[in-house]
Amino acid sequence: MVNIFALILAIAAVVSGLCWGYRRKSRSRLHTDAVSTKKRLKLLPAWVDTLASLFPLLAVVLLIRSFGWEPFRIPSGSMMPTLLTGDLVLADKYSYGLKNPFNQKLLFATGHPKRGDIAIFAFPEDESQLYIKRVIGLPGDRIVFDPVNQQLSIFPACQQTEHCAPPLSVKYSALVPGEFVESAGAHPQFYSVPLGDKSPVGTRLQMRTENLSGVIHRILQNPHAIVNSRQFFQQPGQTPAEWIVPAKSYFMMGDNRNNSYDSRYWGFVPERNLVGKAVAIWFSVEKQEGQWPTGTRLNRIGRID
């Protein structure tokens, strides 16, 4: 997978660096050949001088974006209520290893995803698209999803010759009405409507907490949605709605469980596709998927819980 934006940014940094070097070299001759250098500087095209001035900024942006933090926009409601459409998040790219910014090849490892992380990754079926989901299953885990109760069971990796550990503790609170309403239609929109207020046409989503062995987060469910396990990704050798996570791969799910196209439907995320860990919301705009922003949500700025 080639990161086109990173490639363009790198080319711009190199070109501006060459202009910066040429300008610096020309000015260094002022002490030995002042007259000719002044003439040379006057003949220096304005665009060359402008690009040279941009070099320090471009170099810093390239380094930070490649090996530090990169901004991403949340385009849909699949991670509600944790992340909303219009949130702009920062991804910590150091958490999952430093990679070549152009082809995402691992340079050296610094860590691996933990269960409950919110990860940004290249979609395995189209690596030009970036997805954001929660890490549910680690390499070797057996994941079981109950389509009726919409609850998870997770069994840690275990070889037949080993004494297998008990299932991971996954606890759920009771379902209660939430603040979000899902509109009807093929392309639903999501609105925040306080409890007690008249709701627009649609379904009030229910909310509860999911506890993945200490990682507690809220999830949404549509009380009228029917989960058809026949639409799930069928892993060879496994029964429907059960998966064993391959080595160097991860099982991802969205927090908006009935409105998330995730590993249940298309399989696993290879470790090489990981881009970074979402750690903070740095800005947020009020918007719906496919529509223009209508305001700002400054109260959402901060670390992601």
Does one domain contain both 162 and 173? yes
Decide if 176 contacts 204 (C-beta within 8 A).
no
Model confidence at 52: pLDDT above 60: yes
Mean per-residue pLDDT for 254-281? 95
Q: Is the dihedral of CA 92, 96, 97, 99 positive or negative?
A: negative
Count up the domains in the chain and report the number: 2
Write the CATH number for 186: 2.10.109.10
Residue 292, burial from CB neighbour count under 10 angstroms (0-12, 13-18, 19+): exposed
Q: Higher model confidence: residue 257 or residue 54?
A: 257
Are 141 and 61 members of one domain? no
Q: Which of 16, 76, 78, 249 is catalytic?
A: 78
Q: Judge whether residue 166 has pLDDT over 70.
A: yes
60 and 76 co-located in one domain: no
11 plus 147 within the same structural domain: no
87-92 vs 69-73, strand pairing mode? antiparallel
Average pLDDT score over the chain: 84
Query: What is the percent of the chain where pLDDT is above 90?
Result: 49
Q: Specify the DSSP element, H or E, that contains 296.
A: strand 295-296
**pLDDT tens across 69-99, in order?**
788 899 999 999 999 999 999 988 888 877 7
Predicted confidence at residue 99, as pLDDT, reads 73
| Residue from 145, 116, 89 nearest 285 by CA | 89
Clarify whether 287 is annotated catalytic: no
Domain ranges, residue 189: 69-303
Q: Helix axis angle, 46-67 relative to 4-27, nearest 10°? A: 130
Residue 1: predicted pLDDT: 47
- The whole-number pLDDT of residue 97 equals 78
Instruction: Put residue 211 in one of left, alpha, beta given phi > 0 → left and psi -120 to 50 → alpha.
Output: beta
Q: Which of 40, 67, 94 is the last residue of a domain?
A: 67
Least confident segment among 105-114, 121-130, 148-157, 242-251: 105-114
Cβ–Cβ < 8 Å for 249, 239: no
Asked if 113 and 274 count as a contact pair (C-beta separation under 8 A), the reply is yes
Q: Please say if the pLDDT value at position 268 is more than 90.
A: yes
For 68, 133, 252, the CA distances from 240, given in Å and listed in that order, are: 40, 22, 17
Which tokens go with 260? 């998330």
Which tokens in the block code for residue 256?
């908006």
* Same domain for 78 and 63: no
| φ/ψ (deg, to 5) at 160 | -60, -30
Q: Do 3 and 105 form a contact (C-beta atoms < 8 A)?
A: no
Which of the pair, 30 or 105, is modelled with greater confidence?
105
Same domain for 95 and 8, yes or no, is no
CB 298 within 8 A of CB 277: no
Indicate if 133 belongs to the active site: yes
Query: Which of residues 94 and 282 earns the better pLDDT score?
Result: 282
Q: Which of 38, 67, 96 is the last residue before a domain boundary?
A: 67
The answer to whether residues 255 and 218 touch, using CB atoms and an 8 Å cutoff, is yes
- What is the pLDDT, as a whole number, of residue 110? 77
**Catalytic residue of the set 16, 93, 95, 133:** 133
Q: Categorize the per-residue pLDDT at 196 as very low, low, confident or very high, splitting at 50, 70 and 90.
A: confident
140 with 24, same domain: the answer is: no
Both 143 and 49 in one domain: the answer is no
Verify that 47 and 196 share a domain, yes or no. no
Domain boundary among 67, 86, 121: 67
Do 54 and 133 have their domain in common? Answer: no
Do residues 173 and 250 both lie within one domain?
yes
Residue type, 94: Y
User: What would the pLDDT profile of 197-248 be if each residue is shown by its tens digit?
Assistant: 876 678 999 999 999 988 999 999 999 888 888 899 999 999 999 999 999 9
154 and 265 housed in the same domain: yes
Q: What percent of the chain clears pLDDT 70, i.e. is strictly above it?
A: 83
Above 50 in pLDDT, residue 169? yes
Instruction: Tell whether the model's pLDDT for residue 271 goes beyond 50.
Output: yes
User: What pLDDT digit, counting tens, does each position of 129-152 carry?
Assistant: 999 999 999 999 999 999 999 999
Per-residue pLDDT tens over the stretch 171-187: 999 999 999 999 877 77
15-24, 48-57, 275-284: which is most confident: 275-284
